Structure 1
Amino acid sequence: MSEADGGMQTLDLGVVGNGSFAALIDARARVVWGCLPAFDGDPAFCALLSPREHPGGDFAIELEDFERAEQAYIPNTAVLRTVLHDSRGGSVEILDFAPRWRQNARFYRPVSLVRRITPLAGAPRIRVLVRPLAEWGARVPETTWGSNHVRWLLPQMTLRLTTDAPLRFVRDGLPFVLNHRMHLVLGPDEPLARSIDGYVEEAVNRTLDYWREWVRYLSIPLEWQEAVIRSAITLKLCQYEDSGAIIAAMTTSIPEAPGSSRNWDYRYCWLRDAGFVVRVLNRLGATRSMEQFLHYIFNIATHDGSLQPLYGIAFEKELTEEDVASLAGYRGVAPVRRGNLAWLQKQHDVYGSVVLATTQLFFDQRLVDPGDIGTFARLEPLGERAFALHDVPDAGLWEFRGRAEVHTYTAAMCWAACDRLARVAAKLGLAERSAYWRERAERVREKTLERAWREDAGHFSASFESTYLDASLLLLADIGLLPADDPRYVATVEAIGRELRRGEGLFRYVAPDDFGVPETSFTICMFWYIDALAAIGRQEDARQLFERILARRNHLGLLSEDMAFEDGEAWGNFPQAYSHVGLIMAAMRLSRPWTEAL
């Protein structure tokens, strides 16, 4: 619901997409966010971030005398169904999707949103409002129209709406009685060379078939299947298939907490997520998506010996950060940021993340283009950088902007780079290189375990210089630095539960940073904690907590970056790919085996 409707913006949103672009749709079927022609483009639909000077930035289908709505995905698909009811017994169904299916030995996935409007009861009276804006909400684009279409001249593309609804009513936002099914096809400026109803009916059926077939081949756990499937589809929708990149989230500048200035642009690819994303795609059996992402990572990782923390979806290195004055922000919370200054930071854990991810190339026989000795040789410079930087201060995975330390997680990931290179060398029969990397891995491991342990506190610390805890320590066993039954790891997990947990939420850390003291629970950290509880033998505690976190997803099963401790309200960018990765991994660890159902 928009503020103009008398309500407050929320993250009770659905997402539709097809690997080329995505749109966020609120509980009343209003498109409130969508960047064109791709994830990193100009948000023609920017109502979510409140344009200051021009009404719109949305694509709404408003029902006169609206009373209530219901919304759900068609099971096992990315096709969203919303039903609006009026106070006079009328109702309307809106079906939203981005076309996607296999055609001519490739995937048909145009930058297109299709909306099918069907009267279900009574004589519903609707109004269609299509109001894209240009240049981040700063300008109303020039408009032209023909007999069955309207065009908007946007900075990066000309957008065309083809419809069989009364064009004047759509163009001018006039109300009319919906007495039969109507169709709206929004996309590139290309004439539709067939009947619109025929195209839409074929498109919806083929898109439904695509998603159902894709889900059919997923490897999923016995329990929590609906949650895992929805998270898997959401992760798939975060992939830009032209390059294979998987973005952190589809939005920018949704604050981490009410009134916070922690507003960041997440429409890019963070390398630190890579190892975990590849692992979950492997576990799901989504090998095509995994291989596309691996190719993206490998293209970046082997250009030279250095890495930055994040890149654009088309391998862009420079992601200059600037404030956007034309958008007031989510619930009016500024600033709205375009670009992300973190591309300039030193975050040395990325070397381990990339090597962890690309290790899959050497061990997975399903891949079309597996790793070989040449591939390994191109990865070794990353290991050299990891070894050289494992005890050099950096910004850490939480991207501190005002201080640098030798972060324990960074050192552990540098160890992981050396460790995995040793394993890969052994797999390739390169005994000398395996011994070389094994010796380096052991040196980093010994130093990390010694320098990060705090005997007086009885737990590992967030950095070699500090005594405070952070949630990344939960991952030390997961990446293999030490076994989960190591008393030091168990004690650290218990300490994190005491000091960072608040009810059903978990702080990343509680020490003040550049922007003060964190206020919300970082969603992925809760899944790390759940996974760690299970690893140290507290399986039932982990299951109960997992169930409670699942209940905090939005009405469509989607997760953002952060949650409020008190009521579980979603904050931070949305939908957060990494949160859904955490959900999938936790479900797979905790689920009863399939043999119990057979």
Structure 2
Amino acid sequence: MNTAANEPQQGSLNLGMIGNCAISALIDNHARMVWCCLPRFDGDPVFNALLQPGDEGSHFAIEIEDLASAHQWYEPNTAILRTQLFDKAGHGVEITDFAPRFNSRSRFFRPMTLVRRVRPIQGAPRIRVALKVRYDWGRSTPHITRGSNHIRYVGEDMTLRLSTDAPVSHVLSGQSFVLTREHNFLLGADEPLHEGIADTARYFEQETTSYWRNWSRALALPLEWQDAVIRAAITLKLSLYEDTGAIVAAMTTSIPESAHSGRNWDYRYCWLRDAFFVVRALNSISEVGTMEDYLRWLSNVVIEGGDGHIQPLYGIGLEKDLPESVMPQLAGYRGMGPVRVGNQAAEHFQHDVYGNIVLGAAQSFHDHRLLHRAGQAEFTRLEQV
């Protein structure tokens, strides 16, 4: 997509998504990371600019001076996002964003890490890196410490570390500088890297690219609209919280159903109905892994519902109680609050959930592709609900 320099950066849902089935982030078309919850999808938004317009919002931006145009796209068949920014003199940069995901030592490597790589592609561009972290839904400003090649954002319940081969002083001050070579930024847990920053970022990108291309290659695609189907499939895959098998309805909270309606809800949880349709869509193109993970989550829901009552939604860690509260310190999307955390719909009785359990669980008994098919014990558990 192409965007003009004077297009508003705040209050847009024209966002790219990166993720690794453990964390995710939303990035606008000027390469600002405007939404990211950590340490998981339903966590604290360390970048909250999507719901807090203006200077009060937190974000991770890589800006070019005198922006004239921007172009953004996904690397084909991957969850890697690229953004090119050009200034009025024609100088340009390219920013690559992703969350590492690949097979390592017979398991999926999906760390709480966001990788940003920026390189000059034309002329001598001047860039500015603006990294502003907030904790506790915008109420807490972290204490900042620095090292030779890292910055720590220390909070009461979480500490993030930015490892970078860019000038740390410029990142801390927000000072513009001429970009003469590629720089890398790895934001994640407060742990030192075992290898060099550039080597780590390069390796993560290579392995992540390979993973997603191999994953896309295994899909059973129609002859037409393959790019659209693959992109939709990757987006649905990224909604899987692989640790438990839950599938979230959305990565965001409090995007209004309509302008100034007040109908702003937190969708960062797993609805049985929505999750079933995601599994069915991916299963229709032969993506079995998500179904296996979801069936594992569904089995745990059934066990937890031993009294026969199944909620319409649960937390991604199988939480039953999702008390709803309002965050008045955040203005809301385009200033249209309230911003809600939690979802009282977990207390509702919606009897169609039993049908969604039957439709989903049927695969566990009849799908011969599954490595572990359900048997009599699983059937007995299902009978109880």
* Aligned amino acid, residue 363 of structure 1: H
* Aligned amino acid, residue 333 of structure 1: M
Shift of 1:65: 0.4
Q: Per residue, is there more helix in 1 or in 2?
A: 1
Deviations 1:518-541 (A, max 9, x none): xxxxxxxxxxxxxxxxxxxxxxxx
Q: Which residue of 2 aligns with 1:63?
A: 64
Shift of 1:6: 5.5
Deviations 1:339-392 (A, max 9, x none): 00100111111111111101100110111221112211111122xxxxxxxxxx
Shift of 1:158: 1.1
Q: Answer whether contact 1:51 1:326 (CA < 8 A) is retained.
A: no
Structure 2 CA distance for aligned equivalents of residues 184 and 279 of structure 1:
37
Task: Note the residue ranges of structure 2 that are not aligned, 5 or more in a row.
Answer: none
Q: Which residue of 1 aligns with 2:321?
A: 318
* Aligned amino acid, residue 344 of structure 1: E
Structure 1 CA distance for aligned equivalents of residues 33 and 107 of structure 2:
28
Shift of 1:251: 0.1
Over alpha carbons, which structure has the higher Rg? 1
TM-score norm. by structure 1 comes to 0.62
> CA 1:274 to 1:6, structure 2 compared with 1: closer, same or farther past 3 Å?
closer
> CA 1:64 to 1:142, structure 2 compared with 1: closer, same or farther past 3 Å?
same
Q: Which residue of 2 aligns with 1:193?
A: 194
1:381 pairs, out of 361, 379, 384, with 384
Q: Answer whether contact 1:265 1:340 (CA < 8 A) is retained.
A: yes
Q: Answer whether contact 2:53 2:333 (CA < 8 A) is retained.
A: no
Shift of 1:255: 0.5
Structure 1 CA distance for aligned equivalents of residues 202 and 258 of structure 2:
42
2:356 pairs, out of 353, 357, 365, with 353
1:367 pairs, out of 344, 364, 370, with 370
* Aligned amino acid, residue 352 of structure 1: G
Q: Which residue of 1 aligns with 2:28?
A: 26
Deviations 1:278-337 (A, max 9, x none): 222221211111100111011102321210110001000000000111110000001000
> CA 1:171 to 1:56, structure 2 compared with 1: closer, same or farther past 3 Å?
farther
Structure 2 CA distance for aligned equivalents of residues 242 and 359 of structure 1:
22
Structure 2 CA distance for aligned equivalents of residues 371 and 48 of structure 1:
43
1:288-437 correspondence to structure 2 within 5 Å: 288-303=289-304, 304=306, 305-382=308-385
* Aligned amino acid, residue 14 of structure 2: D
Structure 2 CA distance for aligned equivalents of residues 272 and 118 of structure 1:
43
SS in structure 2 at match of 1:205: helix
Q: Which residue of 2 aligns with 1:141?
A: 142
> CA 1:156 to 1:297, structure 2 compared with 1: closer, same or farther past 3 Å?
farther
Q: Answer whether contact 2:253 2:341 (CA < 8 A) is retained.
A: yes
Shift of 1:56: 3.9
* Aligned amino acid, residue 247 of structure 2: I
Structure 2 CA distance for aligned equivalents of residues 7 and 189 of structure 1:
30
TM-score norm. by structure 2 comes to 0.96
Q: Which residue of 2 aligns with 1:403?
A: none
1:8-407 correspondence to structure 2 within 5 Å: 8-50=10-52, 55-303=56-304, 304=306, 305-382=308-385
Shift of 1:122: 1.1
SS in structure 2 at match of 1:359: helix
Deviations 1:452-495 (A, max 9, x none): xxxxxxxxxxxxxxxxxxxxxxxxxxxxxxxxxxxxxxxxxxxx
Shift of 1:259: 1.5
SS in structure 2 at match of 1:228: helix
Structure 1 CA distance for aligned equivalents of residues 197 and 7 of structure 2:
31
* Aligned amino acid, residue 19 of structure 2: G
Shift of 1:193: 2.1
* Aligned amino acid, residue 79 of structure 2: A
Q: Answer whether contact 1:251 1:265 (CA < 8 A) is retained.
A: yes
Q: Which residue of 2 aligns with 1:553?
A: none
Shift of 1:154: 3.3
- Sequence identity percentage: 53
Shift of 1:274: 3.4
Q: Answer whether contact 2:11 2:53 (CA < 8 A) is retained.
A: no
SS in structure 1 at match of 2:17: strand
Q: Answer whether contact 1:79 1:208 (CA < 8 A) is retained.
A: yes
SS in structure 2 at match of 1:306: coil
Deviations 1:81-134 (A, max 9, x none): 000000011000000010111001101110111011000111100100110111
Shift of 1:153: 1.8
Structure 2 CA distance for aligned equivalents of residues 327 and 56 of structure 1:
8
Structure 2 CA distance for aligned equivalents of residues 199 and 120 of structure 1:
22
SS in structure 2 at match of 1:302: helix
Output the aligned Cα RMSD.
1.5
Shift of 1:258: 1.5
Q: Answer whether contact 2:118 2:184 (CA < 8 A) is retained.
A: yes
Deviations 1:571-597 (A, max 9, x none): xxxxxxxxxxxxxxxxxxxxxxxxxxx
* Aligned amino acid, residue 359 of structure 2: L
Q: Answer whether contact 2:170 2:177 (CA < 8 A) is retained.
A: yes
Shift of 1:155: 4.5
Structure 2 CA distance for aligned equivalents of residues 7 and 27 of structure 1:
8
Structure 1 CA distance for aligned equivalents of residues 168 and 208 of structure 2:
26
1:491-530 correspondence to structure 2 within 5 Å: none
Q: Which residue of 2 aligns with 1:523?
A: none
Structure 1 CA distance for aligned equivalents of residues 302 and 285 of structure 2:
24
Shift of 1:5: 8.5
Q: Which residue of 2 aligns with 1:419?
A: none
